[in-house]
A = this chain, B = another copy of it.
Amino acid sequence: MPLAISRRNIFGWKMGQVKLFLDYIRQYVELTGEEEEILLSKVRARNFLKGQYIVQNGDVCRYENFVLAGCLKTFYIDNEGQEHILMFAIENWWIADLGSFISQTPADLNVQCVENCELVQIHYNDLQALYLDIPKLERFFRIIIQKAFVAAQKRIVNNFTLSAVDRYQQFREQYPLIEQRVPQYMIASYLGITKEFLSKIRNQLSTPKD
C-alpha cells in the first residue's frame, strides 16, 4: 500500500524519518492510509543538539517524544544537587516525564540529549485528539506503556536484589548499544554507584582470573 502523505507533513520531515516512525507503529497496530495521514498531521519531527533539554524539572512536559536517532537520558536532581539517571532512550524508544505529561503539571524529572537527536514529538493536546480520531492508538500506547512498566518493575527488583557488579553486567547485556554510547559516569549514575566504584568494577571484570 503506497504511503499517502499530505503535502503539509513532508515539510520538516525526511522521508526516511516518516518511514521509521510508521514502521515502528505498524509493529503494534495496523493503520489505514487515512489514519497515517491524520497521525502525521499531528506530530512533528524536530532536531535537538547534544546537551539540549526536552523537559526541564519545574516545566510542564508538553510532548511525548519518539527517538528517530540519537540518545537521551531522563534524570532526577536531588536536594544535594546530585543527578540520578532513571533511564536512557535510543532509537525506537519513547521518552518524556510521563507523570507530568499525563497530569499536565510541573515535571519532577529532566530529559536531556546525550547525543544530537531527531525526535518525533506529539503535543499533549494533539495526542488527546488523536486518541479520539484513531482509537487504535489507545492500544498502541497501552502496549508500549505496559512494557515500560514491566521494565521499571524489573529495575526495582534488580536494585533490591543484585550487587552493583551484577547490575552492571545485566545493564551491559540488556542494553549493549547504550553502554557503548554514553559516558561511564552516566552509567554509574544509572546504577546508583559512584564513577570510581564503576571503574573498579570494570577493572575487576577485565582482569583475567587464574
Interface positions of A (Cβ within 8 A of B):
76, 78-79, 82, 84, 86, 98-99, 102, 108-109, 131, 135, 138-139, 141-143, 145-150, 152-157, 159-161, 192
A-B contacts, 30 listed (Cβ < 8 Å): A76-B157, A76-B160, A78-B160, A78-B161, A79-B161, A82-B161, A84-B160, A86-B156, A98-B146, A98-B149, A98-B153, A102-B143, A102-B146, A108-B157, A109-B153, A109-B157, A131-B139, A135-B138, A135-B139, A138-B138, A138-B139, A142-B145, A145-B146, A145-B149, A148-B149, A149-B152, A152-B152, A152-B156, A156-B156, A156-B159
Q: Which of A82, A153, A154 has the most CB of B within 10 A?
A: A153
Query: In the assembled complex, how far is the CB of residue A124 from the closest CB belonging to chain B, in whole angstroms?
Result: 13
Query: In the assembled complex, how far is the CB of residue A118 from the closest CB belonging to chain B, in whole angstroms?
Result: 25
Query: In the assembled complex, how far is the CB of residue A134 from the closest CB belonging to chain B, in whole angstroms?
Result: 11
A192 to B78, CA, bound (A): 20
Query: Is the CB–CB distance between B160 and A192 below 8 Å?
Result: yes
Given A152-B156, A153-B99, A155-B156, check contact A76 B145 (CB 8 Å).
no
Residues of chain B within 8 A of A155, CB atoms compared: 156
Q: Which of B131, B150, B152, B192 is within 8 Å of A153, CB to CB? A: B152
Residues of chain B within 8 A of A98, CB atoms compared: 146, 149-150, 153
A143 to B146, CA, bound (A): 11
A135 to B136, CA, bound (A): 8
Query: Is the CB–CB distance between A84 and B157 below 8 Å?
Result: yes
A75 to B135, CA, bound (A): 35
Query: Is the CB–CB distance between B99 and A154 below 8 Å?
Result: yes
Report, nearest first, the 3 A-B pairs whose CB atoms are least far apart. Answer: A142-B142, A152-B152, A138-B138
Q: Which residue of B lies closest to A153 (CB)?
A: B152
A91 to B80, CA, bound (A): 37
Q: Which of B139, B142, B146, B157 is within 8 Å of A86, CB to CB? A: B157
Residues of chain B within 8 A of A148, CB atoms compared: 149
Q: Which residue of B lies closest to A76 (CB)?
A: B157
